[in-house]
Protein backbone atom coordinates (compact mmCIF):
# COMPACT_ATOMS: atom_id res chain seq x y z
CA UNK A 1 0.00 0.00 0.00
CA UNK A 2 1.31 3.42 -0.96
CA UNK A 3 2.39 5.62 1.94
CA UNK A 4 -0.21 8.30 1.26
CA UNK A 5 -3.02 5.72 1.25
CA UNK A 6 -1.78 4.23 4.51
CA UNK A 7 -1.71 7.72 6.05
CA UNK A 8 -5.28 8.33 4.86
CA UNK A 9 -6.45 5.05 6.35
CA UNK A 10 -4.86 5.84 9.71
CA UNK A 11 -6.21 9.40 9.65
CA UNK A 12 -9.74 8.03 9.26
CA UNK A 13 -9.17 5.57 12.11
CA UNK A 14 -7.93 8.40 14.36
CA UNK A 15 -10.87 10.63 13.48
CA UNK A 16 -13.33 7.80 14.17
CA UNK A 17 -11.73 7.32 17.58
CA UNK A 18 -11.73 11.06 18.35
CA UNK A 19 -15.40 11.53 17.53
CA UNK A 20 -16.48 8.24 19.13
CA UNK A 21 -15.05 9.57 22.38
CA UNK A 22 -17.63 12.36 22.50
CA UNK A 23 -20.48 11.02 20.37
CA UNK A 24 -22.54 7.93 21.21
CA UNK A 25 -24.46 7.66 17.95
CA UNK A 26 -22.48 5.99 15.15
CA UNK A 27 -24.32 7.92 12.44
CA UNK A 28 -23.23 11.18 14.07
CA UNK A 29 -19.65 9.91 14.12
CA UNK A 30 -19.96 9.03 10.44
CA UNK A 31 -21.08 12.54 9.48
CA UNK A 32 -18.39 14.20 11.58
CA UNK A 33 -15.57 12.10 10.11
CA UNK A 34 -16.92 12.39 6.57
CA UNK A 35 -16.80 16.18 6.71
CA UNK A 36 -13.09 16.03 7.56
CA UNK A 37 -12.10 13.36 5.03
CA UNK A 38 -13.96 14.69 2.00
CA UNK A 39 -11.34 17.42 1.68
CA UNK A 40 -8.72 14.86 0.62
CA UNK A 41 -10.60 12.48 -1.71
CA UNK A 42 -13.86 12.27 -3.64
CA UNK A 43 -17.07 12.23 -1.63
CA UNK A 44 -17.99 8.76 -2.90
CA UNK A 45 -14.64 7.25 -1.92
CA UNK A 46 -14.70 9.02 1.44
CA UNK A 47 -18.17 7.66 2.18
CA UNK A 48 -17.05 4.07 1.64
CA UNK A 49 -13.80 4.41 3.59
CA UNK A 50 -15.51 6.03 6.57
CA UNK A 51 -18.32 3.46 6.58
CA UNK A 52 -15.72 0.67 6.56
CA UNK A 53 -13.87 2.29 9.46
CA UNK A 54 -17.18 2.22 11.33
CA UNK A 55 -17.85 -1.43 10.52
CA UNK A 56 -20.14 -1.23 7.48
CA UNK A 57 -19.89 -1.53 3.70
CA UNK A 58 -23.53 -0.63 3.06
CA UNK A 59 -25.07 2.82 2.62
CA UNK A 60 -27.51 3.95 5.27
CA UNK A 61 -27.54 3.51 9.03
CA UNK A 62 -24.29 2.33 10.64
CA UNK A 63 -25.00 -0.91 12.56
CA UNK A 64 -24.06 -1.30 16.21
CA UNK A 65 -22.72 -4.79 15.58
CA UNK A 66 -20.20 -5.55 12.84
CA UNK A 67 -20.88 -8.66 10.73
CA UNK A 68 -19.86 -10.51 7.55
CA UNK A 69 -18.29 -9.90 5.08
CA UNK A 70 -15.15 -8.24 6.39
CA UNK A 71 -13.24 -7.42 3.20
CA UNK A 72 -14.42 -5.43 0.19
CA UNK A 73 -13.17 -3.48 -2.84
CA UNK A 74 -13.59 0.30 -2.80
CA UNK A 75 -14.82 0.92 -6.33
CA UNK A 76 -14.09 4.65 -6.40
CA UNK A 77 -10.52 4.06 -5.22
CA UNK A 78 -9.65 1.20 -7.57
CA UNK A 79 -8.25 2.28 -10.93
CA UNK A 80 -8.72 -1.12 -12.50
CA UNK A 81 -6.33 -4.01 -12.36
CA UNK A 82 -3.06 -3.06 -14.05
CA UNK A 83 0.55 -4.14 -14.38
CA UNK A 84 1.52 -2.57 -11.03
CA UNK A 85 -1.32 -4.25 -9.13
CA UNK A 86 -0.57 -7.28 -7.00
CA UNK A 87 -3.83 -7.87 -5.14
CA UNK A 88 -5.03 -10.76 -7.33
CA UNK A 89 -1.59 -12.36 -7.30
CA UNK A 90 -1.50 -12.13 -3.48
CA UNK A 91 -4.61 -14.30 -3.14
CA UNK A 92 -3.72 -17.99 -2.93
CA UNK A 93 -7.33 -19.23 -3.02
CA UNK A 94 -8.35 -17.28 -6.13
CA UNK A 95 -10.99 -15.43 -4.15
CA UNK A 96 -9.98 -12.34 -6.13
CA UNK A 97 -10.57 -12.31 -9.86
CA UNK A 98 -10.48 -9.73 -12.64
CA UNK A 99 -14.10 -10.28 -13.52
CA UNK A 100 -15.38 -6.71 -13.15
CA UNK A 101 -16.15 -5.12 -16.54
CA UNK A 102 -14.03 -2.11 -15.57
CA UNK A 103 -11.08 -4.31 -14.65
CA UNK A 104 -11.57 -4.08 -10.92
CA UNK A 105 -11.02 -7.22 -8.85
CA UNK A 106 -14.11 -8.94 -7.50
CA UNK A 107 -14.08 -10.89 -4.23
CA UNK A 108 -15.75 -14.28 -4.03
CA UNK A 109 -16.56 -14.40 -0.33
CA UNK A 110 -16.95 -18.20 -0.28
CA UNK A 111 -13.30 -18.56 -1.28
CA UNK A 112 -11.97 -15.74 0.91
CA UNK A 113 -9.78 -16.66 3.92
CA UNK A 114 -10.02 -13.12 5.37
CA UNK A 115 -6.22 -13.16 5.59
CA UNK A 116 -6.00 -9.52 4.47
CA UNK A 117 -2.98 -10.03 2.22
CA UNK A 118 -4.82 -8.37 -0.67
CA UNK A 119 -5.33 -5.27 1.48
CA UNK A 120 -1.59 -4.95 2.01
CA UNK A 121 -0.82 -5.74 -1.63
CA UNK A 122 -3.14 -3.14 -3.21
CA UNK A 123 -1.04 -0.04 -4.05
CA UNK A 124 -4.08 2.25 -4.03
CA UNK A 125 -5.45 1.01 -0.71
CA UNK A 126 -8.58 0.14 -2.67
CA UNK A 127 -9.33 -3.02 -0.70
CA UNK A 128 -10.33 -2.61 2.90
CA UNK A 129 -11.60 -4.44 5.95
CA UNK A 130 -14.10 -3.33 8.57
CA UNK A 131 -12.94 -1.78 11.82
CA UNK A 132 -14.55 -1.91 15.28
CA UNK A 133 -12.92 1.19 16.73
CA UNK A 134 -16.18 2.99 17.51
CA UNK A 135 -17.80 -0.21 18.78
CA UNK A 136 -14.89 -0.79 21.16
CA UNK A 137 -15.00 2.77 22.51
CA UNK A 138 -18.77 2.55 23.00
CA UNK A 139 -18.31 -0.79 24.75
CA UNK A 140 -15.92 0.82 27.23
CA UNK A 141 -18.29 3.76 27.76
CA UNK A 142 -21.29 1.51 28.42
CA UNK A 143 -19.73 -1.35 30.40
CA UNK A 144 -17.54 -1.22 33.49
CA UNK A 145 -15.79 -4.56 32.98
CA UNK A 146 -14.28 -4.62 29.50
CA UNK A 147 -11.17 -6.79 29.24
CA UNK A 148 -8.45 -6.31 26.64
CA UNK A 149 -6.80 -9.54 25.56
CA UNK A 150 -3.44 -9.05 23.86
CA UNK A 151 -2.19 -11.34 21.12
CA UNK A 152 1.35 -12.69 21.73
CA UNK A 153 2.57 -10.56 18.79
CA UNK A 154 2.04 -7.27 20.68
CA UNK A 155 5.65 -7.02 21.90
CA UNK A 156 7.62 -4.33 20.07
CA UNK A 157 4.66 -3.12 18.01
CA UNK A 158 4.50 0.37 19.52
CA UNK A 159 8.21 1.17 19.42
CA UNK A 160 11.48 -0.38 20.58
CA UNK A 161 11.50 1.60 23.82
CA UNK A 162 7.89 0.83 24.78
CA UNK A 163 7.63 -2.00 27.28
CA UNK A 164 4.87 -4.57 27.41
CA UNK A 165 3.99 -3.24 30.86
CA UNK A 166 3.57 0.29 29.47
CA UNK A 167 1.18 -1.02 26.82
CA UNK A 168 -0.89 -2.65 29.56
CA UNK A 169 -0.89 0.62 31.51
CA UNK A 170 -2.00 2.56 28.42
CA UNK A 171 -4.91 0.16 27.89
CA UNK A 172 -6.02 0.56 31.49
CA UNK A 173 -5.86 4.33 31.02
CA UNK A 174 -8.16 3.97 27.99
CA UNK A 175 -10.75 2.49 30.32
CA UNK A 176 -10.25 -1.25 30.07
CA UNK A 177 -10.99 -3.05 33.32
CA UNK A 178 -8.08 -5.47 32.95
CA UNK A 179 -5.55 -6.73 30.41
CA UNK A 180 -4.80 -10.41 29.85
CA UNK A 181 -2.29 -12.09 27.55
CA UNK A 182 -3.77 -14.37 24.92
CA UNK A 183 -0.60 -16.38 25.48
CA UNK A 184 -2.34 -17.63 28.65
CA UNK A 185 -4.87 -19.26 26.31
CA UNK A 186 -1.96 -20.53 24.22
CA UNK A 187 -0.64 -22.35 27.29
CA UNK A 188 -4.03 -23.99 27.81
CA UNK A 189 -4.37 -25.06 24.19
CA UNK A 190 -0.75 -26.22 23.98
CA UNK A 191 -1.36 -28.80 26.70
CA UNK A 192 -4.71 -29.78 25.16
CA UNK A 193 -3.17 -30.29 21.71
CA UNK A 194 -0.20 -32.20 23.15
CA UNK A 195 -2.61 -34.67 24.74
CA UNK A 196 -4.68 -34.84 21.57
CA UNK A 197 -1.54 -35.57 19.54
CA UNK A 198 -0.65 -38.47 21.84
CA UNK A 199 -4.14 -39.95 21.49
CA UNK A 200 -4.06 -39.59 17.69
CA UNK A 201 -0.67 -41.29 17.43
CA UNK A 202 -1.82 -44.10 19.74
CA UNK A 203 -4.82 -44.83 17.52
CA UNK A 204 -2.62 -44.89 14.42
CA UNK A 205 -3.14 -41.46 12.85
CA UNK A 206 -0.34 -40.34 10.54
CA UNK A 207 -0.66 -36.61 11.18
CA UNK A 208 -2.13 -33.96 13.34
CA UNK A 209 -2.60 -30.46 12.01
CA UNK A 210 -2.75 -27.75 14.66
CA UNK A 211 -5.88 -25.60 14.66
CA UNK A 212 -4.98 -23.30 17.45
CA UNK A 213 -3.54 -20.17 15.97
CA UNK A 214 -4.20 -19.16 12.37
CA UNK A 215 -7.83 -18.94 11.11
CA UNK A 216 -6.90 -18.73 7.39
CA UNK A 217 -4.78 -21.88 7.63
CA UNK A 218 -7.52 -23.76 9.49
CA UNK A 219 -10.09 -22.72 6.88
CA UNK A 220 -7.65 -23.70 4.11
CA UNK A 221 -7.32 -27.18 5.62
CA UNK A 222 -10.90 -27.73 6.81
CA UNK A 223 -12.89 -25.81 4.23
CA UNK A 224 -11.05 -26.68 1.02
CA UNK A 225 -9.52 -30.09 1.74
CA UNK A 226 -12.17 -32.66 2.75
CA UNK A 227 -9.54 -35.46 2.81
CA UNK A 228 -7.51 -33.49 5.36
CA UNK A 229 -10.24 -31.90 7.48
CA UNK A 230 -10.27 -34.78 9.98
CA UNK A 231 -6.54 -34.38 10.64
CA UNK A 232 -7.04 -30.88 12.06
CA UNK A 233 -6.96 -30.58 15.85
CA UNK A 234 -10.24 -30.29 17.73
CA UNK A 235 -9.07 -27.22 19.68
CA UNK A 236 -10.38 -23.67 19.60
CA UNK A 237 -7.87 -20.85 19.22
CA UNK A 238 -6.09 -19.29 22.23
CA UNK A 239 -8.15 -16.13 21.60
CA UNK A 240 -11.43 -18.00 22.06
CA UNK A 241 -10.07 -19.99 25.00
CA UNK A 242 -8.87 -17.04 27.08
CA UNK A 243 -12.02 -15.01 26.32
CA UNK A 244 -14.25 -17.87 27.47
CA UNK A 245 -12.29 -18.29 30.69
CA UNK A 246 -12.56 -14.56 31.41
CA UNK A 247 -16.33 -14.73 30.98
CA UNK A 248 -16.49 -17.87 33.13
CA UNK A 249 -14.73 -15.95 35.91
CA UNK A 250 -16.70 -12.73 35.41
CA UNK A 251 -20.36 -12.88 34.38
CA UNK A 252 -20.31 -9.17 33.51
CA UNK A 253 -17.22 -9.29 31.32
CA UNK A 254 -16.92 -7.97 27.79
CA UNK A 255 -13.81 -8.90 25.81
CA UNK A 256 -11.83 -7.06 23.12
CA UNK A 257 -9.10 -8.94 21.26
CA UNK A 258 -6.11 -6.88 20.09
CA UNK A 259 -3.70 -8.32 17.55
CA UNK A 260 -2.22 -8.05 14.04
CA UNK A 261 -4.77 -10.35 12.36
CA UNK A 262 -7.75 -9.32 10.23
CA UNK A 263 -9.00 -12.92 10.05
CA UNK A 264 -9.61 -12.81 13.81
CA UNK A 265 -12.48 -10.41 13.04
CA UNK A 266 -14.16 -13.14 11.04
CA UNK A 267 -13.36 -15.85 13.61
CA UNK A 268 -14.89 -13.80 16.43
CA UNK A 269 -18.19 -13.44 14.55
CA UNK A 270 -18.68 -17.09 13.60
CA UNK A 271 -22.05 -18.15 15.05
CA UNK A 272 -20.54 -21.05 16.97
CA UNK A 273 -17.80 -18.86 18.52
CA UNK A 274 -19.35 -15.40 18.96
CA UNK A 275 -20.03 -15.98 22.65
CA UNK A 276 -16.36 -15.32 23.39
CA UNK A 277 -15.04 -12.07 21.88
CA UNK A 278 -17.14 -8.91 21.58
CA UNK A 279 -14.81 -6.77 19.43
CA UNK A 280 -11.53 -7.16 17.56
CA UNK A 281 -8.90 -4.45 17.04
CA UNK A 282 -5.69 -4.58 15.03
CA UNK A 283 -2.52 -2.94 16.35
CA UNK A 284 -2.98 -0.32 13.64
CA UNK A 285 -6.47 0.49 14.96
CA UNK A 286 -5.29 0.56 18.57
CA UNK A 287 -2.53 3.00 17.65
CA UNK A 288 -5.19 5.32 16.20
CA UNK A 289 -7.12 5.14 19.48
CA UNK A 290 -3.97 5.95 21.47
CA UNK A 291 -3.41 8.98 19.22
CA UNK A 292 -7.02 10.13 19.57
CA UNK A 293 -6.79 9.88 23.37
CA UNK A 294 -3.33 11.55 23.30
CA UNK A 295 -1.81 8.54 25.01
CA UNK A 296 1.88 7.82 24.45
CA UNK A 297 2.65 4.43 26.03
CA UNK A 298 6.39 5.11 26.03
CA UNK A 299 5.91 8.11 28.33
CA UNK A 300 3.86 6.28 30.97
CA UNK A 301 5.74 6.00 34.25
CA UNK A 302 3.51 3.46 35.97
CA UNK A 303 4.12 0.03 34.50
CA UNK A 304 1.58 -2.70 35.27
CA UNK A 305 3.09 -6.20 35.33
CA UNK A 306 2.13 -8.94 32.88
CA UNK A 307 2.72 -12.41 34.29
CA UNK A 308 0.06 -14.50 32.58
CA UNK A 309 1.97 -16.77 30.26
CA UNK A 310 4.88 -19.12 29.80
CA UNK A 311 7.79 -18.63 27.46
CA UNK A 312 6.31 -21.19 25.07
CA UNK A 313 2.88 -19.55 25.07
CA UNK A 314 4.40 -16.22 24.10
CA UNK A 315 6.38 -17.56 21.13
CA UNK A 316 3.13 -18.54 19.38
CA UNK A 317 3.46 -15.18 17.68
CA UNK A 318 6.00 -16.26 15.07
CA UNK A 319 6.36 -19.15 12.63
CA UNK A 320 7.49 -22.32 14.35
CA UNK A 321 6.49 -21.11 17.80
CA UNK A 322 3.28 -23.15 18.01
CA UNK A 323 4.92 -26.43 17.03
CA UNK A 324 7.91 -25.78 19.30
CA UNK A 325 5.61 -25.13 22.27
CA UNK A 326 3.44 -28.20 21.65
CA UNK A 327 6.46 -30.43 20.99
CA UNK A 328 7.94 -29.40 24.35
CA UNK A 329 4.71 -30.40 26.14
CA UNK A 330 4.56 -33.70 24.21
CA UNK A 331 8.12 -34.46 25.30
CA UNK A 332 7.17 -33.82 28.94
CA UNK A 333 4.16 -36.15 28.64
CA UNK A 334 5.87 -38.86 26.57
CA UNK A 335 9.66 -38.45 26.25
CA UNK A 336 9.98 -41.45 23.93
CA UNK A 337 7.62 -40.23 21.21
CA UNK A 338 9.26 -38.78 18.09
CA UNK A 339 7.60 -35.53 16.98
CA UNK A 340 8.40 -34.73 13.37
CA UNK A 341 7.44 -31.13 12.72
CA UNK A 342 6.71 -29.30 9.49
CA UNK A 343 5.50 -25.71 9.45
CA UNK A 344 4.28 -23.55 6.60
CA UNK A 345 5.47 -19.95 6.47
CA UNK A 346 2.90 -18.08 4.39
CA UNK A 347 -0.16 -19.41 2.55
CA UNK A 348 1.86 -20.62 -0.45
CA UNK A 349 3.96 -22.93 1.75
CA UNK A 350 0.85 -23.99 3.66
CA UNK A 351 -0.79 -25.09 0.42
CA UNK A 352 2.32 -27.01 -0.59
CA UNK A 353 2.33 -28.87 2.73
CA UNK A 354 -1.36 -29.74 2.43
CA UNK A 355 -0.71 -30.97 -1.13
CA UNK A 356 2.07 -33.18 0.20
CA UNK A 357 -0.24 -34.62 2.86
CA UNK A 358 -2.90 -35.45 0.27
CA UNK A 359 -0.30 -37.06 -2.00
CA UNK A 360 1.32 -39.06 0.82
CA UNK A 361 4.66 -37.27 0.44
CA UNK A 362 4.97 -35.44 3.76
CA UNK A 363 7.58 -36.81 6.16
CA UNK A 364 6.16 -35.35 9.34
CA UNK A 365 3.50 -36.09 11.93
CA UNK A 366 2.76 -32.60 13.27
CA UNK A 367 1.91 -29.68 11.00
CA UNK A 368 1.70 -25.97 11.81
CA UNK A 369 0.57 -23.40 9.27
CA UNK A 370 0.81 -19.60 9.31
CA UNK A 371 -0.87 -17.61 6.56
CA UNK A 372 1.38 -14.58 7.03
CA UNK A 373 5.13 -14.59 6.37
CA UNK A 374 6.83 -14.71 9.74
CA UNK A 375 3.67 -15.85 11.50
CA UNK A 376 1.29 -13.58 13.43
CA UNK A 377 4.00 -10.90 13.68
CA UNK A 378 3.63 -10.56 9.90
CA UNK A 379 -0.11 -9.95 10.03
CA UNK A 380 -1.70 -7.13 7.98
CA UNK A 381 -2.59 -5.16 11.12
CA UNK A 382 1.00 -5.04 12.39
CA UNK A 383 2.99 -1.84 12.94
CA UNK A 384 6.56 -3.11 12.55
CA UNK A 385 8.49 -5.45 10.27
CA UNK A 386 7.86 -9.12 11.08
CA UNK A 387 11.53 -9.77 11.86
CA UNK A 388 11.57 -6.88 14.33
CA UNK A 389 8.34 -8.16 15.84
CA UNK A 390 9.66 -11.72 16.16
CA UNK A 391 12.81 -10.53 17.93
CA UNK A 392 10.73 -8.48 20.39
CA UNK A 393 8.47 -11.48 21.05
CA UNK A 394 11.47 -13.67 21.84
CA UNK A 395 12.89 -11.09 24.25
CA UNK A 396 9.58 -10.80 26.09
CA UNK A 397 9.26 -14.59 26.18
CA UNK A 398 12.61 -14.81 27.94
CA UNK A 399 11.15 -12.78 30.82
CA UNK A 400 8.50 -15.40 31.54
CA UNK A 401 8.74 -17.03 34.95
CA UNK A 402 7.63 -20.35 33.45
CA UNK A 403 9.36 -22.06 30.49
CA UNK A 404 6.86 -24.64 29.25
CA UNK A 405 3.12 -24.29 28.83
CA UNK A 406 2.51 -27.51 30.75
CA UNK A 407 4.15 -25.91 33.82
CA UNK A 408 1.88 -22.84 33.90
CA UNK A 409 -0.06 -23.50 37.10
CA UNK A 410 -2.36 -20.52 36.61
CA UNK A 411 -3.52 -21.92 33.26
CA UNK A 412 -3.86 -25.45 34.66
CA UNK A 413 -5.93 -24.25 37.63
CA UNK A 414 -8.35 -22.35 35.37
CA UNK A 415 -8.78 -25.32 33.03
CA UNK A 416 -9.53 -27.63 35.94
CA UNK A 417 -11.83 -25.13 37.66
CA UNK A 418 -14.03 -24.55 34.62
CA UNK A 419 -13.69 -27.88 32.77
CA UNK A 420 -17.45 -28.39 32.94
CA UNK A 421 -18.28 -24.84 31.87
CA UNK A 422 -15.72 -23.79 29.24
CA UNK A 423 -15.72 -25.53 25.85
CA UNK A 424 -12.25 -25.87 24.30
CA UNK A 425 -13.22 -28.10 21.37
CA UNK A 426 -13.90 -26.39 18.07
CA UNK A 427 -17.20 -27.04 16.27
CA UNK A 428 -17.13 -29.67 13.55
CA UNK A 429 -17.36 -28.42 9.97
366-370 and 341-345 strand pairing: parallel
Give this prediction's pTM.
0.97
Q: Write the pLDDT tens digit of every residue in 37-85.
A: 987 799 999 999 999 999 999 999 999 999 999 999 998 999 887 767 8
Give the whole-angstrom CA distance, residue 84 versus residue 101.
19
Predicted pLDDT at 99: 66
Half-sphere exposure of 350 (CA within 13 A, CB side): 30
Q: Residue 367: which H helix or E strand, with range?
A: strand 366-370
Beta strand ranges found along 115-271 (DSSP E): 127-129, 146-150, 178-181, 208-209, 254-259
Q: How far, in Å, CA of 371 to CA of 383, rounded?
A: 17
Q: By CB neighbour count within 10 A (0-12 exposed, 13-18 middle, 19+ buried), where does 155 fall?
A: buried
Average pLDDT, the chain: 95
Residue 276 has, within 13 A of its CA and on its CB side, a CA count of 30
In the predicted model, what is the mean pLDDT of residues 247-263? 98
Residue limits of CATH 3.30.70.20 in the chain: 3-134
CA contacts within 13 A on the Cβ side of 338: 4
CATH entry, 3-134, from 3.30.70.330, 3.40.50.920, 3.30.70.20, 3.90.230.10: 3.30.70.20
Among candidate residues 5, 89, 20, the one with its CA nearest the CA of residue 54: 20
The share of the chain scoring above pLDDT 90, in percent, equals 90
Helix axes 43-53, 3-22, angle to 10 degrees: 60
pLDDT above 70 for 429: no
pLDDT confidence of residue 89: 87
Distance CA 329, CA 241 (A): 18
For 192-250, the pLDDT digits (tens) are 999 999 999 999 999 999 998 899 999 999 999 999 999 999 999 999 999 999 999 99
Residue 423, pLDDT score: 96
pLDDT digits (tens, 9 = 90+) for 96-107: 987 677 778 899
pLDDT given at position 414: 97
More confident residue, 76 or 158: 158
Q: What are phi and psi of 33, to 5 degrees?
A: -70, -40
Say which DSSP state 360 is in: T
pLDDT tens for residues 170-197? 999 999 999 999 999 999 999 999 999 9
Give SS3 for 127. Answer: strand
Of 405, 410, 220, 400, the closest CA to residue 312 belongs to: 405
Amino acid sequence: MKEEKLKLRRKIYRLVAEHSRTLDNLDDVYEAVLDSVSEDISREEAEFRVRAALGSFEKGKIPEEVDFPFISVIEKACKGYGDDCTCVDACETEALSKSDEDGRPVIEIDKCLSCGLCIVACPEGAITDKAEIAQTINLIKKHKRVYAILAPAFSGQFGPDVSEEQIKSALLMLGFYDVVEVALGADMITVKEANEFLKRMQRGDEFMITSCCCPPFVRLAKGFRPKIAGMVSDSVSPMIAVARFIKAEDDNAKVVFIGPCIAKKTEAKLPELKDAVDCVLTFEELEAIFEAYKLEPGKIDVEMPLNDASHDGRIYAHTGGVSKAIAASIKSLNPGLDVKIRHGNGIKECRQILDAIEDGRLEANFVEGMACIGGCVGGPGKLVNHEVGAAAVDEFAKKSKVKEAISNEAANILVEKYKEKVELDSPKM
